[in-house]
Structure 1
Amino acid sequence: MARDGSGTRMQVVVLPLPAQSHLNSLLHFSRVIAERGASVSFVATSTHIQQVRRRAEGWELHNFDISFRELPMPHLTAGDLDSQSTTMFPLQLIPLFEAVENQLGSHVDQLLQTICSENKNRVVLIYDVAMGWVQTVATKYSIPAYVFRPTGSYYNLWMKRTRDETMVVSPVNVSLKRCFPERFIKNWRRQRTQLGPAKGYIMNTFSALESEFIHQEREELVFGGKPVWTVGPLLPQAFFNYVQRLRLQTDTECMRWLDTQAPTSVLYVSFGSVSSLSATQIRELADGLERSGQPFLWVLRISDEAHLSTESQYDSACEFLQQGYERRLEGRGFIARNWAPQIDILLHKSTGGFLTHCGWNSTVESISAGVGMLAWPLHSDQFANSALITSELKAGVQVKEWQNAKENEMVSAEEVEKAVKRLMRSEEGMQVRKRVQELRNEARKAVGDGGSSWKDVDSLLHHFSQSFSE
């Protein structure tokens, strides 16, 4: 696929939003299409290019036609952020999204002009859905452009129906403003208005996971009747070669601790890299984990700072815990400061559950590892994802019932204790584990030769070539 139908070399330019989950998904997708013969230019800010290069270590890049091109890191100013916002949304991301649009437009324009010249205008562009402004540049140079959506179909349907006010009863019992601050909603709506000329949409999901909702998306013209390719789950290739034991990252203390635990006994606890719980909520969570009596591995961190330029440094979050907590739980509980190798943990034989914020990447990773989830959504698509996980897929349970309110709700230690026991020890939890094992097998079939996602990637690459003959 490195050449189009005329035999002329073609370049696929991949332009992700510079936020970790978006970067990772499109990095893995770049590898998928490069393995199938595509020539890929992965474009990101200088800081984020350094991060993706580290993630690509061990790829034997000489076997893939992937190059990395840098954009300057935009200058960020906090501006007038709503300090009274009731959403848990990481407000520090908003200045980044806006700075990328306001400061990088000319740099993206110049880079695409250069790439078009280098490749005789045989260029295809894939850009993140949150960067609709890029479509204007693509149109300027007549570049066939495709939109990458890093979220699931269930969430996309909820967003459309919320926007159209067509929902009578919603399984996602929170308002749109509960999920996103108003400033983000305005930005998102502006980006959407610019997507019209796109050739189609690429999604990090797979047919067996969301077939009903993918079909509904197409029926309801969620994407304006444009073609949709489901190419997930987008994960490290080694993930799907896992047999009994595989360490994808360097050895760590938490992995050695997991080695000492009984099979499927450990609850993994992590809320991702961009959100933080309050000090009061951390105390309640800590108390609930202790009271549950269940072994746990907890990644405790303060969210990344607004600049997002490096992995955030551990910020003494454990000071929120009562004195002697770790000593009391020595051997049963492990607190990883700031970071832990999530995929390695999910694949480990001792991991039996995942208390998660229900970010889409974490959701897909947990399903693909066959690990049931304890759903604790915070913002964005996470409430919709939690409803999909628990109500539709039966691949997890809610930590509590969320109310249709804008204010944040505290999860008590008692609720944590009850939810942990429900997932890890009850008959319902056993059924969840059985179901998620079935979904794990479907995920591996999807990306294997002849699987649904494998076929969609093949169809997409063919569409790239055909786009020049229109």
Structure 2
Amino acid sequence: MYEFQCVTASYMLSLFTDDLKIIDDKLSREVRNVILTQFPDRCPEELFVFLDKYWRDLSSEAGVVMNTCKEIDGEFIELMPHFQRAVATTIAESVVYVSFGSTVSISDEQIEQLALGLLHSRQRFIWVLKDADKGDIFADNENSTKQRKLPSGFEESTSETGVVVRGWAPQLEILAHPSTGVFVSHCGWNSCIESLSFGVPMIAWPMHSDQPRNATMVCEYLKAGVLVRGWDQETVSGSEVERAIERMMGTDDEGKEIRKRAKGLGEEIRGAVKENGSSKAEFDSFVQHITR
């Protein structure tokens, strides 16, 4: 369902003044004047509380239709994807989340191919690209100390559709967000549980240890994802990444069924920890056992 609002994008942005600090260097003086000018005597505090709750609740909607046009409001419309709650007003389940955890190192060649796959998929994405983890025993010493580099021009080419995060990212919040449509993951079990708990299907990219078995569990047994990297495969091509994203985000029956299956599992997992749920019962039984 879409929400109709007879306000401008500039007004909607004015509700995110704290978040504007993130892109302060992108704002012109004129934009700052429109968005940041305060009118404390014109709007009661109760209304701000109501509006904040309103925009948070709006994240469950498919989108917002505003009574404006690019000719008038274009600069402000372009700024809206920078904000989480604003992004939530775009089409739900449209974002590809990519993160390989803290114990995985991938080559420069693989980074380039992954970047190409994301670029050509034309999907919105959040890519957590950390420096190679020095604690990864499977990475060579050279790769474990150097900065991860993206292909030249990649970030500029995807500035309106993607975000590259270097360092820590709030994974649980990202997976819980209604705009997240699929998780490209190394399939560490914590990541698998977190993704499935929120009903987010996976593109499985196992690297080592328990990950290939976890990927098999998710993709073949639970049928809540697709495998993009074979266990013996050195490099996943950009076209393979693109095809995997299309399979998961597309409109064909396979993708729909996988997404439906993941959503169902999410409901079951969340139900398990509620009162009378299986995990809650097991935990209570364990507490009784160790305290008897």
Question: TM tier, shorter chain?
Answer: 0.5 to 0.7
Q: Amino acid of the residue matched to residue 155 of structure 2? A: E
Aligned equivalents of 1:260, 1:338: Cα separation in 2: 26
Shift of residue 296, structure 1, vs aligned partner: 1.1
Which residue is equivalent to 1:431? Answer: 257
1:270 is the counterpart of 2:96: no
Q: What is the TM-score when the length of structure 2 is the normalising length?
A: 0.65
Q: Label 1:409 to 1:267 Cα distance change in 2 as closer, same or farther (>3 A).
A: same
Aligned equivalents of 2:132, 2:58: Cα separation in 1: 33
Shift of residue 427, structure 1, vs aligned partner: 2.2
Aligned equivalents of 2:85, 2:270: Cα separation in 1: 27
Aligned runs of 1:232-251 on 2, under 5 Å?
none
Shift of residue 274, structure 1, vs aligned partner: 1.8
Q: Would you say the 8 A contact 1:289–1:296 is kept in 2?
A: yes
Q: Would you say the 8 A contact 1:267–1:351 is kept in 2?
A: yes
Identity among equivalent positions (%) equals: 45
Which residue is equivalent to 2:163? Answer: 334
Which residue is equivalent to 1:409? Answer: 234
Which residue is equivalent to 1:449? Answer: 275
Q: Amino acid of the residue matched to residue 121 of structure 2? A: S
Aligned equivalents of 2:267, 2:200: Cα separation in 1: 12
Larger proportion of helix:
2
Secondary structure of the residue aligned to 2:291 is: helix
Aligned equivalents of 2:103, 2:85: Cα separation in 1: 26
Aligned equivalents of 1:456, 1:294: Cα separation in 2: 41
Q: 1:299 aligns with which of 128, 133, 148?
A: 128
Q: Amino acid of the residue matched to residue 344 of structure 1? A: E
Secondary structure of the residue aligned to 2:165 is: strand
Q: 1:215-256, CA deviations, whole angstroms, 9 ceiling, x for partnerless residues?
A: xxxxxxxxxxxxxxxxxxxxxxxxxxx99869xxxxxx6746
Give the superposed CA RMSD.
2.5
Shift of residue 364, structure 1, vs aligned partner: 0.5
Aligned equivalents of 1:402, 1:315: Cα separation in 2: 25
Unaligned runs of 5+ in 1: 1-241, 247-252, 308-313
Q: Amino acid of the residue matched to residue 382 of structure 1? A: Q
Secondary structure of the residue aligned to 2:226 is: strand
Q: Would you say the 8 A contact 1:270–1:357 is kept in 2?
A: yes
1:321 is the counterpart of 2:150: yes
Aligned equivalents of 2:181, 2:241: Cα separation in 1: 16
Q: Would you say the 8 A contact 1:255–1:345 is kept in 2?
A: no
Shift of residue 460, structure 1, vs aligned partner: 0.6
Q: 1:397-420, CA deviations, whole angstroms, 9 ceiling, x for partnerless residues?
A: 1114434xxxx5211111111111
Q: Label 1:361 to 1:243 Cα distance change in 2 as closer, same or farther (>3 A).
A: farther
Q: What is the TM-score when the length of structure 1 is the normalising length?
A: 0.41
Aligned runs of 1:4-403 on 2, under 5 Å?
255=84, 258-259=87-88, 261-306=90-135, 316-317=147-148, 320-403=149-232
Secondary structure of the residue aligned to 1:262 is: coil
Q: Amino acid of the residue matched to residue 97 of structure 2? A: Y
Q: Would you say the 8 A contact 1:300–1:338 is kept in 2?
A: yes
Q: Would you say the 8 A contact 1:371–1:436 is kept in 2?
A: yes
Aligned equivalents of 1:243, 1:381: Cα separation in 2: 38
Which residue is equivalent to 1:418? Answer: 243
Q: Amino acid of the residue matched to residue 106 of structure 2? A: L
Aligned equivalents of 1:462, 1:243: Cα separation in 2: 39
Q: Label 1:276 to 1:260 Cα distance change in 2 as closer, same or farther (>3 A).
A: farther
Q: Count matched residues.
A: 207
Q: 1:317-361, CA deviations, whole angstroms, 9 ceiling, x for partnerless residues?
A: 2xx322211111111111111121111111111111110111111
Q: Would you say the 8 A contact 1:275–1:302 is kept in 2?
A: no
Which residue is equivalent to 1:208? Answer: none
Q: Amino acid of the residue matched to residue 402 of structure 1? A: W
Q: Label 1:444 to 1:260 Cα distance change in 2 as closer, same or farther (>3 A).
A: closer
Q: Amino acid of the residue matched to residue 243 of structure 2? A: K
Shift of residue 465, structure 1, vs aligned partner: 2.7
